[in-house]
Amino acid sequence: MIAAAFLGLAMIGALVRAVVRDRGNTASFPWGTLAVNVVGSFLLGLMAAAGPDVMTTAGAGGLGSFTTFSTFSHEWVSMGQAGARRELVAYLTVTVVASVGAAWIGIELAP
Amino acid sequence: MPVASALVNGPAATAICLGAMAGAGARWGVVELLGDGDWPWGLLVVNVIGSAVLGWLLAGDWRADVSRLLRPAIGIGFCGSLTTMSGVAVAVAELGRDDRWGLGAGYLVASLAAAAVAVVVGAGLRRPAAS
């Protein structure tokens, strides 16, 4: 049951991520990826006080798949290779600060 | 819009789902194996491996891929779900709340640097074969 929920939520997380990136990313800036990572980090922080079953299924399964580190890394490395230094610095800084900040706020607000 | 609906309705959605199950399952296994403590080795390892695979995948010409579904399956599904930002963000935020910002910052920088190197190395492994 836990395994099925984990896998089901992982699929949903990946599909929602795909749609948000598809709609949100522009040629010059990956707004969609940024939104996915910040929102997912906030929601995982909110689950800080949740039980192990919720953490495994919705946390590790759903939000783990919803947010991504590989696409983020590929995007900012590509910005560097294309010589887009301002975008690179902005994307890297905003993603890191906003994701950690959002996780922190989520933990603070956790019931 | 057409791309978004194709993602949800078409064979690409099935490819993403299969890749996501494999990626998330593999992440769970690695985290179980390597632990999830103050320095989450499990997350660091999956983030580096996923970034290397994605670098390799996207360095090639998609027309030369075995199937057009390889990119959504491996890129969006497997690599996207194998790697995770939320786990890293929460781990760093918890270290910060513990007044251990140094360790948190170190983990963050190590993750960013190792994943970036992995993207470049992965791409380097693909390019000779693609040209």
Q: What is the Cα gyration radius of chain A?
A: 15
pLDDT digits (tens, 9 = 90+) for B100-118: 999 999 999 999 999 999 9
Task: Select the residue of B8, B24, B89 nearest A100 (Cβ to Cβ).
Answer: B89
For B16, the token pair is 């993403």
A110 conformational bin, left if phi > 0, alpha if psi -120 to 50, beta if neither: beta
Exposed/middle/buried for B106, CB within 10 Å: 0-12, 13-18, 19+? middle
**pLDDT at position B63, please?**
66
- Separation in Å, CA of B82 to nearest CA in chain A: 7
Give the span between the Cα atoms of B69 and B106, in whole angstroms.
Answer: 37
- How far from chain centre, in Å, is Cα A11? 14
pLDDT, tens only, B29-74: 999 999 878 899 999 999 999 999 999 999 987 666 667 888 899 9
Here the tokens at position A99 are: 């994701």
Interface residue of A22, A73, A88, A104 to substitute, partner B, most B CBs within 10 Å: A73
> Which of B19, B24, B97 is the closest to A64 by Cβ?
B24
In angstroms, what is the C-alpha Rg of chain B?
A: 16
Q: Determine whether the interchain pair B89/A103 forms a contact, defined as Cβ–Cβ distance below 8 Å.
A: yes
Give the nearest chain B residue to A34 (CA atoms).
B85
Please enumerate in sequence order all residues whose Cβ is within 8 A of that of B105, keeping only pairs 6 or more positions apart, or say none.
B92
A-chain CB neighbours of B115 within 8 Å are 69-70, 73
pTM, entire model: 0.93
pLDDT in tens, A61-102: 999 999 999 999 999 999 999 999 999 999 999 999 999 999
Overall average pLDDT of the B21-35 stretch: 96
φ, ψ for residue B84 (rounded to 5)?
A: -155, 140
CB contact under 8 A, B83 and A41: no
| Phi (first) and psi of residue B38, to 5 degrees | -70, -30
pLDDT in tens, B77-98: 999 999 999 999 999 999 999 9
